[in-house]
């Protein structure tokens, strides 16, 4: 059994014209929503075996704030450069190459790819995931390379307005 949490980064700021897209930080709402989602996951007694994040500042900040609430050591978060700018096939490749020693993984990334990937893998259709939304899917398989819609079970979908 493999469990995958797909998390869209929290709301980012557009206030800094001098920053590149990768350098954009979270805005106030994002800094509130990310820990709220972490608390919601912790309330479900969730702490993934691994957290893998895009290197973008807004994604890494989201990962750190969520991890803190789940008691996951932030220095154990893996940065995967390929998540930033990945299309759905690229993100699926990253998922299929996760270490099989991990039974559960939380991936922090960007739209539209996070929503597209969730819909590609989930037996239940999802609307566009808002910022800081998380979907949990469980797969009846022993290897990440085997993860697909064919062996997927939709477990839950949460977003900030739903958990606050």
CATH number of 2-163: 3.40.50.1240
State pLDDT tens for residues 77-135.
Answer: 999 999 999 999 999 999 999 999 999 999 999 999 999 999 999 999 999 999 999 99
Check residue 14 and give its pLDDT: 82
Using pLDDT thresholds of 50, 70 and 90, give the confidence band for residue 163.
confident
Radius of gyration, alpha carbons of the chain: 14
- Residue 164 is predicted with a pLDDT of 63
pTM passes above 0.75: yes
Q: Is the peptide bond before 38 cis (omega within 30 degrees of 0)?
A: no
Domain segments of the chain: what residues?
2-163
pLDDT, tens only, 22-67: 898 999 999 999 999 999 999 999 999 999 999 999 999 999 999 9
Query: Which two structure tokens, joined as six digits, stand for 146?
Result: 């085997």
């Amino acid at each position: 059994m493999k469990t995958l949490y797909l998390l869209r980064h929290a709301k980012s700021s557009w206030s800094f014209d001098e920053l590149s897209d990768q350098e954009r930080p979270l805005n106030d709402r994002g800094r509130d929503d990310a820990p709220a989602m972490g608390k919601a996951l912790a309330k479900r007694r969730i702490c993934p075996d691994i957290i893998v994040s895009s290197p973008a500042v807004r994604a890494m900040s989201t990962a750190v704030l969520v991890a803190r609430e789940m008691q996951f050591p932030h220095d154990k978060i893996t940065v995967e450069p390929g998540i930033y700018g990945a299309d759905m096939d690229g993100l699926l490749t990253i998922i299929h190459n996760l270490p099989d020693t991990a039974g559960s993984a939380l991936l922090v990334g960007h739209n539209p790819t996070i929503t597209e990937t969730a819909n590609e893998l989930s037996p239940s259709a999802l609307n566009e995931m808002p910022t800081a939304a998380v979907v949990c899917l469980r797969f009846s398989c022993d290897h990440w390379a085997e993860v697909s819609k064919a062996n997927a079970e939709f477990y839950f979908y949460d977003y900030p307005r739903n958990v606050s």
